Amino acid sequence: MSAFNLQTCARSNILKLVPYRCARDDYKDDGSNILLDANENAFGPSLPAANYDATLHRYPDPHQIELKQQFCDLRNIASPSPVKPTEPIKPENMFLGVGSDECIDALLRMFCIPGKDKILTCPPTYGMYSVSAQVNDVEVVKVNLKPDFSADVDAIAAVLSAPGSEEIKLVYLCSPGNPTGKLIDPEAVATLLNHPTWNGVIVVDEAYIDFAPEGSSVAPWVTAFPNLVVMQTLSKAFGLAAIRLGASFTSPEIATVLNSLKAPYSISSPTSALASAALSTEGLEVQRKKVAAIIAERDRLVAELPKIEGVGKFLGGFASNFLLVEMLNKEGTPCNTVAVKAYESLAETRGVVVRFRGKEHGCTGCLRITVGTPEENSTLLERLAEVVKEARA
């Protein structure tokens, strides 16, 4: 049984927030009203006729209930053991933000007193947790992933049990990990959620969850744990990075506070419309076909990359749309010098951009390579072979 208590964990000034309200919260518009309440431009948007949308001069829906329900429908299908929720996720369990990054920052503002409180991360991991913490003057406690990039549950639990742990308010777990591509064991997540003395929140970042096996998301667990937040995004598997929409699932109590502290109207009408189309029956059919194509190409790269002389092992897992792979020197050792040379030569002379990850914990000599189209992957394989040979000369 978790020791979580929202009233003592969150910042008191944030809990007292009264959300911004507009007249349309009180008087719902059915399309027939004369709307003279929000100082909008009644003459419509200033756009050429070809781009004209007669709704763009009106502020967007601040609550997005229908869109939230679509997200709930998507995730209310299955969840991993050992937790079996007894009730479905509902719109009141949701927070929508400008990408997952808005939720990362909002959670810090909700729970962490600047200059006093801390968060815990598990390197190697997504860099924005630390960036947002620094912006908010919040210290980062680090517990490295194990050599196989699984979560070190015993070490995390020990930190959360130690004197001073009351200052750690958030634990960020990336699953599938970035740059590791590995799912966090659901048993590990459940163990941390049930920590008997720590009063804090477990945040599971599932940006790449749709590339993992079906039923891997722990989002349905939010109805069973009051101290869980699960972040997802339409940027990756749905291919909608440009609309900047992140979705977070949590308890109604946490969701209420997150929605109170966010800026009003932060999700634009075009963003909402595109997201709704992507989550429709037709949109999900398209998404599944494209994810299947990406997974097929990922499998192809897993088979072909090791055939290149100087390419070593894959590290982490295969639950994402990228691969973390070692570059080896002549002695067969993972080598940052070779990896950097290959990375720079690919971008500067071959027109292929990947990511160097060799400076992160446990990633010596590694490049992170996103799965591209068949044509892009063929070009990558050809040109990577060239630059690795040059880098090892």
Alpha-carbon distance of 309 to 391, in angstroms, equals: 11
Could you tell me the two tokens for 14? Answer: 């944030």
Interatomic CA distance for residues 360 and 365, integer angstroms: 10
The CA-based angle 41-44-47, given to 5 degrees, is 120
pLDDT of residue 167: 97
Distance CA 237, CA 241 (A): 10
pLDDT, tens digit (0-9, with 9 covering 90-100), for 281-304: 999 999 999 999 999 999 999 999
* Per-residue model confidence (pLDDT) at position 44: 81
The torsion defined by the Cα of 178, 285, 231 and 276, in degrees rounded to 10, comes to 140
Which tokens belong to 390?
């040059």
Give the pairing of strands 168-174 and 201-205. Answer: parallel
pTM: predicted TM-score of the whole model, two decimal places? 0.94
Spatial separation of the C-alpha atoms in residues 187 and 189, rounded to whole Å: 5
Give the pLDDT confidence of 119-164 residue by residue, as tens digits: 999 999 999 999 999 999 999 999 999 999 999 999 999 999 999 9
Residue 368 has pLDDT above 70, yes or no: yes
For the chain, list the domains and their CATH numbers: 6-22+59-279 (3.40.640.10), 284-391 (3.90.1150.10)
**pLDDT of res. 293:** 97
At CA 354, angle to CA 350 and CA 357, rounded to 5? 135
Q: What is the pLDDT of residue 41?
A: 81
Contact present, 298 and 323 (Cβ < 8 Å): yes
Residue 119's pLDDT is 98
pLDDT tens-digit map of 239-263: 999 999 999 999 999 999 999 999 8
Q: For 5, phi and psi rounded to 5 degrees?
A: -140, 110
In the structure, what pLDDT confidence band is assigned to residue 93 with cuts at 50, 70 and 90?
very high
Provide CB contacts within 8 A for 325, sequence distance 6+. Answer: 305, 311, 312, 313, 314, 315, 366, 367, 369
Note the pLDDT tens digit of each residue in 31-70. 778 877 778 888 888 888 777 777 888 889 889 999 999 9
Full strand arrangement of the beta sheet holding 322-327: 311-315, 322-327, 366-370, 355-356
pLDDT category, 20, cuts 50, 70, 90?
confident
What ranges in the chain are assigned the alpha helix state H?
A: 6-9, 12-15, 23-26, 65-75, 99-111, 128-135, 153-161, 186-193, 252-261, 269-278, 281-304, 336-349, 374-391
40: tokens are 């909008």
Query: What is the arithmetic mean of pLDDT over 270-278?
Result: 96
Identify which of 114, 390, 104 has the alpha carbon closest to the alpha carbon of residue 258.
104
> Mean pLDDT over residues 255-274, rounded?
93
Predicted confidence at residue 366, as pLDDT, reads 98
Q: Is the pLDDT of residue 205 over 70?
A: yes
